[in-house]
Structure 1
Amino acid sequence: MALAASDDTTPRLLLSGSDAAEAEKEAKKEPEPPRITSVFGTQPLKEFKLPFEDQYPSGPFERLDKKLFLFISKCGDVFFVRQNESMELVKPGKALAKFIPGDETSSDESSSKQLVYCKELSGVKDSLLVGKTLYVAYTTWDEANNGVRLAVSEFAVDVENSEVSFDREIYISRPAIKEPILGHQVGGKLALGENERTLYLSLGDFSKPDRVQDKTTSLGKVVRIDLQRLNAEVYASGFRSPSGGLFYDRESNELWLTDHGPRGGDEINLIKRGKNYGWPSVSYGTIYERDGIGGYYGNKFNSHEGYEKPQMTFLPSIGIGPLVKYPSTGRNDFWDNDLFVAGMGNTTLYRIRKEGTSLVYAEPVLNGYRIRAIQIDQNGTFYLKTDHNQLLISEQE
């Protein structure tokens, strides 16, 4: 290896034959596969490209069996996808729709109505599969009141024929909110509760913070829905944009929620019945210029005085996303019962050390992916869906 002068008198590095061959070999080397990397263990990931394109913010997914998945796009198109060497589309996507009675003889699209209001950042927010029943939370347009609502509907899943059919609407927010709204601040996360009859739903402020502490609205609330009686109660209040994650832990009977704060102040909250979490009166974050100043937080920056406090706050904000618990699998005792939460804004996955109800620290374990949805099965296998049409699946070592 030697240095030589170029025409501009800048020294250049000349490589010997063996060095040049080694450099060429390095350039051709396959990139290292992604890996969840913790101080207390690792899991390699296999990255799959999804066979359809979704928009931002992208929609949720469900696992129908080990190799079969159901994806719902932001605008409500349903795709059945099978995992082989690559992800393969079982059949073309079909929009979530509601059949309109009285048109039984009609064979055209006039006999059904598309359910999802998909404008800018509005659209499908979450799904939850319970047996062969699929619950979907989505924004919908109220024509009578000329505004946007958050709805939850129940669908039947026919795996054999790759079909999803509308059964009934089980919840709709109040009141209808007139545009303009920020569609990513409507909430819409779902969690099955203490039994198969109980569903929890998070609702955001629709970018109308002055309506959150109004008890006559659904805005900024967590509601508990009785799936048998189809009634709902406000379970907790005071949230800004709980559109990241909602998780009910049946082992500990704890309900966990992530909430996007303003500038700074992203939160992980342990949700307790009847408690008020303070938005917009208090926040550990500070204001965005677009929000204006006048009394917006009650002028209580960097404070949760008088309200229920989050279990963990991220400052600066990480663009907090989905949250799940790692089960007791016998594979990694160090991770058992810890939480995993995605930072969508900083494209980082964190392991949150949980001791009792305390969250002790956040360990970054994966970088470079904007993770929109997470599932972990009982064997400890991770399924991570990104906003860039990818599905990452962990492989056991």
Structure 2
Amino acid sequence: MKKYVLLFLSGMTFGLTQCSDKPGQSTTFDGPVITSEKQAFGVDTVATGLENPWGIAFLPDGRILVTERKGEIRIIQDGKLLEEKIENVPAVYANGQGGLLDIVAHPDYSNNGWIYLSYAKPGEGGGGTTIARTKLEGNAFTDYHELFSAQPFANSDVHFGSRIVFDGKGHIFFSSGERGTKMNAQKLSNHLGKVLRLNEDGTVPTDNPFVGIDSARSEIWSYGHRNPQGLVYDAATETLWDVEHGPKGGDELNKVEKGRNYGWPVITYGINYDGTPITDITAKEGMEQPVHYWVPSIATCGLVRVSGEKYPGWKGNFLVGALALTHVHRVEVSAENKSVHDEKLLDKIGRVRAVVQSADGFLYVATESPGMILKIIPQ
């Protein structure tokens, strides 16, 4: 199978160049090199022909699993996108922004075999963000367990979240959008517009902030979120971060802390899509400020904090996907968690749905329109 590299210079796509390397094997690179402010790199096209790719999971045997929002999971093996798909995938509420969303292999997958999924599940009242875990035998799911569904279900086609991350301490964090009803995010009586935390088996940790409060959902970790579609746990600093869509303006990068209120829709740097105001304030006591925000909106989706030694110029930086403005956005944050600099990378690459880092330290990007998986090769 021929492999190609996309070249981006000054915001323009100049064509395709053949690349000799296979994914995951080498950092040598025959294609054009892009020089950004702090890191030179090339772009290896791992797969094309995908339809709305959403999540990417890496398996120890070298396979890469990619969810498509319509409800299918594609397999990339030995540098080739297979015709065969994963079988026994749960039915999804494939409506608007809903469908099959994130996929993550457990950090100890080699020993326990668990794969975690987030998806919009169809049910009474419409659909709701759901978390499940399952195992893979050959190319088919087995031993399927539904762990959680965000309540209430809603007959809405927007704002489902939903990323999944592990903290390495036996917990998962995941996000749930407010489903288009703004004040859901401020109500502790529902799961909508929240970041949530469970034990890996789906039970509720006893130290969650709202455990034992009758009027609150015990799974909630933080609230006041609009539609978080990027989530990362930084093990080095033991901090949780999200990026979430604002309306027209006001996308946010947040440090997500236990029990905190992130303000939507009481405070925001955005306005309604028709240009009318949502609120006249951007700050309020008891509500958290974003570490970084975007006006106009870039439509944030996918988030990684670069770790390891492969990209020394970006180490510790956040890379954020941009759907509407079709690029990857790099954000530098100080030791005091202040945004100090940002840079646009890969301008006009397509709608960036996911930015992830594999266990061997390489960065991958999923794009829509066209549907591709790209690998960033450090130089």
TM-score, normalised via structure 2 length: 0.81
Q: By how many angstroms is 1:199 displaced?
A: 0.4
Q: Secondary structure at the match of 1:395?
A: strand
Matched, 1:182 2:157: yes
Letter in 2 for 1:359: S
User: One-letter code of the match for 1:264?
Assistant: G
Instruction: Rate the CA distance shift 1:49–1:175 in 2: closer, same or farther, 3 A.
Output: same
Q: Percent identity?
A: 23
For 1:338, which of 308, 312, 317 is the aligned residue?
317
Q: Is the 8 A contact 1:153 1:166 kept in 2?
A: no
SS in structure 2 opposite 1:40?
Answer: coil
1:237 aligns with 2:219: no
Alignment of 1:354 with 2:333, yes or no, is: yes
Q: How far apart, CA to CA, are the structure 2 residues paired with 1:207 and 1:376? A: 30
Match of 1:96 in 2: 89
Which piece of structure 1 moves more, 30-39 or 335-344? 30-39
| Shift of residue 343, structure 1, vs aligned partner | 1.6
Match of 2:208 in 1: none
Counterpart residue number, 2:345: 365
Gaps of 5+ in 1: 1-28, 98-114
Equivalents in 2 of 1:339, 1:68: separation in Å? 26
Cα separation, partners in 2 of 1:325 and 1:229, compared to 1, 3 Å:
closer
Where does residue 272 of structure 2 map in the other structure?
287
2:105 and 2:32 mapped to 1: Cα distance?
28
Amino acid at match of 1:272: E
Deviation at 1:35, TM superposition (A): 5.3
34 and 383 in structure 1: CA distance in 2 versus 1, 3 angstrom threshold: farther
Paired residues of 2:250 and 2:268 also in contact (CA < 8 A) = yes
The question of whether the paired residues in 2 share the 8 Å contact of 1:36 and 1:365 is answered with: no
**Corresponding position: 1:54 with 2:51:** yes
Q: Are residue 273 (structure 1) and residue 258 (structure 2) matched? A: yes
Residues in 1 aligned to 2:57 and 2:98: alpha-carbon distance in whole angstroms: 20
Go from structure 1 to structure 2 and tell me whether the alpha carbon gap of 1:266 and 1:286 turns closer, same or farther (over 3 Å shift): same
Q: What SS does the aligned partner of 2:183 have?
A: helix
Equivalent AA in structure 2 for residue 170 of structure 1:
L
8 Å contact kept, 1:322–1:372: yes
Which residue pairs with 2:28 in the alignment?
none
How large is the Cα RMSD of the aligned pairs?
A: 2.3
Paired residues in the alignment total 331
Pair 271,124 (structure 1): closer, same or farther in 2 beyond 3 Å: same
1:64, distance to aligned residue in structure 2 (A): 1.5
Gaps of at least 5 residues in structure 2 are 1-13, 18-30, 205-217
1:69 aligns with 2:64: yes
Residue from 145, 149, 153 that aligns with 2:128 = 149
Aligned amino acid, residue 257 of structure 1: D
CA distance in 1, matches of 2:116, 2:339: 30
Asked whether the 8 Å contact 1:173–1:218 carries over to 2, the reply is yes
The structure, 1 or 2, with the larger RCO (C-alpha pairs under 8 Å, 6+ apart) is: 2
Q: Is the 8 A contact 1:78 1:95 kept in 2?
A: no
* Aligned positions of 1:297-336 closer than 5 A: 297=278, 299-301=279-281, 303-306=282-285, 307-329=287-309, 331-336=310-315
* Corresponding residue number in structure 2 for 1:118: 94
Q: Could you tell me whether the CA contact under 8 Å between 1:34 and 1:46 is conserved in 2?
A: no
CA distance in 2, matches of 1:333, 1:319: 27
Q: 1:93 to 1:169 in 2, by over 3 A?
A: closer
Q: Which residue of 1 aligns with 2:38?
A: 40
